[in-house]
């Protein structure tokens, strides 16, 4: 009993961090609904056409934030503080120089486009704001990776609570200024996020670039970034199948399933952000792969029960909630219910995924991610043929694929433990 109480106290910071992250996700979700009701689709679409490239800009970071996310706790665990800080200095120097360079390039491009009358003043402003959001994301990705200890996660909890409050307090901006209020809303929130990350960052050191450390970070970080990126793409296969072989109506009916799935997956997302540095620090400390394996299994056991409970509640509520809140999407209820279980299995897979990242066993991802891609396509064909229903078929395919892949991840993690 005493040991259990000690463990609860030890991980209480992680629990608060996850809860604050879920609160932040919830307030963001509510804001999204408000935006849809207040802003005209064509105005929102115009702004989103400028922000669509934000995810692609992350490629220019070359996986360095992901590299420091893994290497910093690993070398701290080995008590090689000088090595850890040297890599942090290099990562910080690279990110700062990258952001400055991107701002310069963006400014030049904006001036050229405006002087050649390719875009007008409003388009110019949206381009600059969208670019700023992309650069904020790069900085957040790096700075967030420097918070590693329970004490530092307590700071992250406070930051996330502050951002949650901002999500609510700044809503009048959208009501008063319409689309430009929403642009300012996103800019201010993301800007404050970066400022708070900088103020409370654990290591207030002078950054200094070192070529050897940069290469080491790239070798570790880029595979993590690349396979995470491909993994996200593979998750979009069901929607892609609907786009290619279905109709706009089917794609629209799939929206509740996708949105609910994304909301539920906030639980493992924040859990893994806490778990990854803890596992990596411990692995650096003792070099024991068995401990990483045990930690992953123990986490999966509790996470699966939580996610299954949440999933069953959602499956029960959706037939009542969707017709009331989104009556036009009631034909997508069954797909949404099935996709909930895809999220349950996928949440388990994310824990196994970060465990493999902790061990730097990147070679297994080419099998795991490739399997997900091909399985989704094959299962979609099989279940669409059986049920003669494209929406139902791709939903079942997603759930079955993640269930099978859960066992694949377990097998490969067990194999990594023996390597």
Q: What is the pLDDT of residues 114-144, one digit of tens each?
A: 898 888 888 889 899 999 999 999 999 999 9
For tokens 């670019």, name the residue: 131
Confidence (pLDDT) at 278: 87
Of 44, 17, 21, nearest to 32 by C-alpha is 44
Segment 324-331 long-range contacts (CB within 8 Å, at least 24 positions apart): 326/256, 329/252, 329/253, 329/255, 329/256, 331/253
Confidence (pLDDT) at 11: 58
Q: How many helices (H) and strands (E) does the chain have?
A: 18, 0
Reading the block at residue 244, the tokens are 């290619």
Contact indicator for 138, 221 with CB cutoff of 8 Å: no
For the stretch 317-359, pLDDT in tens is: 888 888 887 777 788 888 888 988 998 999 999 999 999 999 9
Confidence (pLDDT) at 4: 43
Confidence (pLDDT) at 36: 67
Confidence (pLDDT) at 44: 78
Cα gap 300→352, rounded to integer Å: 8
Cα gap 365→84, rounded to integer Å: 26
Q: Kindly state the DSSP code that residue 389 receives in the 8-state scheme.
A: -
pTM of the model: 0.84
Q: Kindly state the DSSP code that residue 388 receives in the 8-state scheme.
A: S
- Which ranges in 145-210 belong to alpha helices (H)? 150-169, 171-199
In the predicted model, residues of the chain with pLDDT beneath 70 are: 1-11, 36
């Amino acid at each position: 009993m005493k040991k259990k109480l000690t463990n609860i106290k030890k991980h209480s910071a992680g629990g608060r961090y996850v809860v604050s992250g879920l609160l932040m996700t919830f307030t963001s979700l509510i804001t999204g609904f408000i935006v849809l009701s207040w802003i005209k689709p064509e105005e929102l679409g115009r702004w989103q056409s400028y922000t669509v490239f934000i995810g692609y800009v992350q490629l220019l970071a070359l996986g360095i934030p992901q590299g420091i996310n893994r290497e910093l706790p690993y070398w701290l665990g080995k008590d090689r503080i000088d090595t850890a800080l040297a890599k942090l200095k290099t990562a910080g120097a690279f990110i700062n120089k990258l952001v400055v360079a991107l701002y310069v390039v963006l400014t030049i491009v904006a001036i050229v486009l405006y002087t050649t009358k390719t875009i007008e003043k409003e388009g110019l402003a949206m381009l600059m704001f969208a670019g700023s959001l992309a650069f904020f994301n790069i900085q957040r990705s790096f700075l967030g990776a420097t918070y590693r200890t329970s004490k530092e996660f307590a700071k992250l909890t406070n930051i996330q609570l502050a951002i949650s409050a901002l999500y609510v307090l700044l809503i009048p901006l959208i009501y008063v200024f319409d689309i430009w209020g929403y642009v300012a809303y996103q800019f201010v929130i993301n800007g404050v996020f970066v400022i708070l990350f900088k103020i409370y960052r654990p290591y207030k050191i002078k950054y200094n670039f070192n070529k050897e450390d940069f290469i080491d970070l790239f070798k570790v970080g880029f595979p993590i970034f690349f396979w995470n990126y491909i993994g996200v793409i593979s998750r979009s296969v069901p929607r892609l199948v609907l786009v290619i072989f279905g109709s706009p109506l089917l794609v629209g009916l799939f929206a509740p399933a996708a949105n609910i799935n994304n909301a539920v997956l906030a639980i493992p997302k924040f859990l893994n952000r806490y778990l990854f540095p803890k596992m990596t620090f411990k692995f650096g400390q003792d070099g024991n792969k068995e401990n990483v394996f045990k930690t992953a299994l123990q986490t999966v056991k509790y996470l699966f029960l939580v996610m299954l409970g949440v999933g069953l509640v959602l499956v029960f509520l959706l037939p009542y909630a969707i017709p009331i809140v989104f009556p036009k999407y009631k034909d997508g209820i069954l797909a949404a219910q099935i996709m909930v279980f895809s999220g349950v299995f996928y949440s388990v897979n994310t824990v196994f995924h970060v465990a493999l990242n902790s061990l730097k066993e990147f070679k297994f991802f080419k099998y795991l991610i490739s399997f997900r891609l091909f399985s989704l396509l094959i299962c979609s064909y099989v279940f669409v043929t059986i049920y003669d229903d494209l929406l139902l078929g791709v939903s079942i395919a997603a759930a079955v694929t993640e269930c099978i892949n859960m066992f694949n991840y377990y097998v490969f993690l067990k194999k990594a433990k023996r390597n």
